[in-house]
Amino acid sequence: MIRIFPLLLILAAGPARADDPVIEHVEAQRSGMGWRITVTLSHPDTGWDHYADGWAVLDADGNRLGFRELMHPHVHEQPFTRSLFDVMIPDGASQVFLRARCSEDGWSESLTSVPLRK
């Protein structure tokens, strides 16, 4: 009898992703009716073929509240900081989560929790 299940677990794990973008620091600040989310991100950008190309703000259920597209590589600017304005966060939320994306590897598996101070 061939055991397929352990093999499927190994295949499902996929290759290690050493080049995920890393969220180094986050500031969430009330701004008018919404929030300004400022993120410092690092990634070993190599050029247009491989760079950190965005990050998303998610609620506790994984719903996207905002997305900051990064339009170009930051090969010589590491880490770098960018902001997203007017993020509408539901009343009563005590935290949001951030996930970064890379042009080559896609979305990082790690989430960064950001507490919200009212």
pLDDT digits (tens, 9 = 90+) for 100-109: 999 999 999 9
Report d(CA 112, CA 64) in Å as an integer: 14
What confidence tier does 114 reach under pLDDT thresholds 50, 70, 90?
very high
Of all residues in the chain, the percent with pLDDT exceeding 90 is 63
DSSP bridge partners of 82:
39
What's the rounded mean pLDDT across residues 23-42?
94
Reference 60, options 111, 100, 95; nearest CA is: 95
Cα separation, 57 vs 37, in Å, equals 8
- Give the β-pairing of 112-115 and 80-87: unpaired
pLDDT digits (tens, 9 = 90+) for 75-87: 888 899 999 999 9
Region of 8 please: left (phi>0), alpha (psi -120 to 50) or beta. alpha
Structure-token match 């965005």, residue found: 54
Domains of the chain: residue spans and CATH: 18-115 (2.60.40.730)
Collapsing DSSP to helix, strand or coil, 7 comes out as helix
Mean pLDDT across 83-102:
95
> Mean pLDDT, to the nearest integer, of 33-38?
95
Position 18 scores a pLDDT of 58
